[in-house]
Amino acid sequence: MTTRGWYKERTLTTVDTVGREVSVTTGLTRDPEGRLVAAIAISDGPTAIYRYSGDAQEGTELVANAADTVKELRRLASMGPTI
């Protein structure tokens, strides 16, 4: 597993939808304009910025979407195989 050289880099290992091991990295880095940003990347794929240091709101859409997805997973899992 390689590091990206980000600040406060955190990496976890999981599997993709076909069972291959992948790493998911979150951390702080700089965008091309030099602004401090929060970013996420999967394995050696591209980086996605999900928060700029100057953003005024408390939460982020990415984190909210991930939380909603987990809630939906729990709801559907409790219903049984209906989809």
Tokens, residue 50: 């999900």
Task: Please choose, from the candidates 3, 1, 14, 41, the residue with its C-alpha nearest in 3D space to the C-alpha of residue 25.
Answer: 41
The pTM for the full model equals 0.76
Dihedral in degrees, nearest 10, Cα atoms 27, 50, 18, 20: -10
pLDDT digits (tens, 9 = 90+) for 8-67: 899 999 999 999 999 999 999 998 999 899 999 999 999 999 888 777 777 788 888 888
| Ramachandran class of 32: left when φ > 0, alpha when ψ lies in -120 to 50, beta otherwise | alpha
Distance from CA of residue 70 to its chain's centroid?
13
> Domain locations in the chain?
7-79
Between CA 50 and CA 64 the distance in angstroms is 11
Give the Cβ contact number of residue 67 at 10 Å: 11
Between 74 and 15, name the one with better pLDDT.
Answer: 15
